[in-house]
Amino acid sequence: MMIIYTDQDQCKEFGVSYFEEASWVVDIAVLLKTKDYDQQHKTLLTGLGTKSSLTLERGKGRLRPGWWCIKKILVHHGLNRDQSDPCFEWARDYCKVNNLYIEEKDDG
């Protein structure tokens, strides 16, 4: 399970509760602009493609406030990646190893 943190200011900006269970979608580029993430998170997020989107979810009692499980990744082809791109292959492999759902959309 891959998790990511959002602070209270980010949650307010995105209109989601810091404390309560929720499910929401965010563009990776937007997420990166709202917080100075550590290098590990920056590498993961940019590797998935900055034009891609994440579905984040927190169930009741499953994670601490501010922490979200990445449930789905929507990778946009044609905007920033093609399927032969090593970064896309890395994202696909990462999702497979971590049991994440990856959806591919051809915008080109």
Residue 92, pLDDT score:
62
Q: What are the structural domain ranges in the chain? A: 3-106
Return the half-sphere exposure (C-beta side, CA atoms, 13 A cut-off) of residue 60: 0
List, for residues 29-43, the tens digit of each pLDDT value.
999 999 999 988 888
Answer with the residue of higher pLDDT: 85 or 15: 15
Q: Identify the band that residue 100 occupies on the pLDDT scale cut at 50, 70 and 90.
A: low
Encode burial over 74-103: b for 16+ CB neighbours within 10 A, e otherwise.
Answer: bbbbeebbeeeeeebeebbebbeeeebebe
pTM over 0.75: no
- The predicted pLDDT at position 82 comes to 46
Chain mean pLDDT for the chain? 78
